[in-house]
Amino acid sequence: MLRTIRALVDHQAQLRPEAVYLIAPESGLHLSFAGLQAASRRLAGWLLGQGIRPGAKVALLMPNGYQTCRLFIGAMYGGYCVTPLNLLAQPSQLAYVLEHSDAEIVFVAPDQVERLQQAAAGLAKPPRMVVCEVDAAEFLPAVEADTALPDSPGEEEAALMMYTSGTTGKPKGVVLAQRAVVSGGAFVSAAHELGPADRVMAVLPLYHINAQVVTATAPLVHGGSLVLPKRFSASSFWQTAVGHGCTWINVVPTMIAYLLNGPDLATLGLDASAIRFCRSASAPLPPAQHLAFEQKFGIGIIETMGLTETAAPCFSNPLEPARRKVGSPGPAYGNAAKIIDASGAAAPAGTVGEIMVRGANVMSCYYKDPAETARTLDAGGWLHTGDLGYMDGDGFVFVTGRIKELIIKGGENIAPREIDEALLLHPAVLEAAAVGIPDDNYGQEIMACVVLKQNQTCSEAELRDYCEDALGSYKTPRQFCFVTELPKGPSGKVQRLKLPELMAATTLQSGR
């Protein structure tokens, strides 16, 4: 197997030079594999000519777009370590990441320049800033002629450094080697039996690991292509996917919820029979939404699971519909997995414990944090995911929650996801997320934030009665908070530990 981004790009450019790799639907720009190779070589040579040595951190502060994708692939092609910056981050968070990562240069979209300047103002050594139009047809039109190309990177050299969301402390820099990024893409291609004729609807932001590996890297492995809108839009999603000939779509549960709240394909007058499957990842998909989506759109969902630390995919349901299990992200695919109990011993089938993963896709380390690296990666190369779950007799994993998000009420462990899924079955509820809050009597009580569907109403008393019937009184939330949106990370995953803060702000605004 090819083990570096350069090897993948060069292989596809030689095998199918004129085949389309990238489509930017808003601008209509297309990029072939030969064009990607040329652009990557030019960027790598230019960076070297600027005195930026291979291995240096190259940051991106740009939304999805033609230029963004070329920069992302091109820097890794040259042996540089790409550090995508979260467009949702505050200037103080950006400042921390820029300083901690040792970024030497930042490619930035025009509308992000002021925010970047604000973030870099207090840094002892601010990185160089290069402004790039996201959908410019020319590749870095202001740069000088190409210089010599850097040597090809080795498979263990850092290709990507992603920062975790930092909901429980300072963000950690996850270092992924070339072989990890490529392996993640290869696992996706193999699990879904993708080939040159396959085209993915890629609506997740390129500053998230799912988009980077699943939709940008996997096509380099199987010779397929991606359609990269600037952002997810439920109102134009199906028109774009069908209009550009997509054969699979890659979304997260939040997007599924919004698509379910919109019209079906018949109402839109669209034929989506070319779309083979919908891939769902980045957060557990409630079974009720899973089944409702398949019924409404006639497209089967392959639920998967991955982490930043595993270069996206580590579990995937089978391609064959009859072998999939609703509520599970599937068995391990491409890597090994096991469940351990509190003592570190392997847990029997059906017993809840921590999910562990080992494989070529696993991270190298947390940047500048050997202590946290040692806590997360054991001597045998097994990664502590921090996720709780169990494995059935067929090897399928079922996720029950996060270790740090587990609600412990009166000594009883309660998985927040169980409460989420019960609330999502209520006809007025679009999104819901539960979390533990301090309580003098029980240690923790349950609070749930709820987003109602458009033009729907529901009282707190109605939800409480509903939960009493569905969950019993012990697991019924003591407090409900109606909000317009839930706090989410770049992948759409709910940042559960931010819910108490959201509840406090909502209560203050309402004057209660």
Q: Kindly list the structural domains of the chain, giving each domain's residue range(s) and its CATH number in brackets, ordered by start.
A: 5-391 (3.40.50.12780), 407-510 (3.30.300.30)
Average confidence (pLDDT) over 448-474: 93
By percentage, how much of the chain surpasses pLDDT 70? 96
In this predicted structure, the answer to whether residue 59 has a pLDDT above a threshold of 80 is yes
* Cβ–Cβ < 8 Å for 280, 328: no
Cα(495)–Cα(489) distance, integer angstroms: 6
Residue 24: strand pairing partners: 29
Query: Which DSSP letter does residue 377 get?
Result: B
pLDDT digits 0-9 by tens, 247-283: 999 998 889 989 999 999 999 999 999 999 999 998 7
Neighbours of 25 (CB within 10 A): 17
Residue linked to tokens 């407090």? 479
Q: Is the torsion defined by CA of 151, 9, 204, 106 positive or negative?
A: positive
Cα(234)–Cα(491) distance, integer angstroms: 16
pLDDT digits 0-9 by tens, 125-175: 999 999 999 998 886 655 555 567 889 999 999 999 999 865 445 789 999
- pTM for this predicted structure: 0.85
Q: What is the pLDDT of residue 75?
A: 97
Burial class of residue 136 in the structure, from the number of CB atoms within 10 Å of its CB (0-12 exposed, 13-18 middle, 19+ buried): middle
Report residue 141 as tokens. 């039109």
* SS3 annotation, 85-114: CCCCCCHHHHHHHHHHHCEEEEEECHHHHH
Query: Which DSSP letter does residue 485 get?
Result: -
In this predicted structure, the answer to whether residue 440 has a pLDDT above a threshold of 80 is no
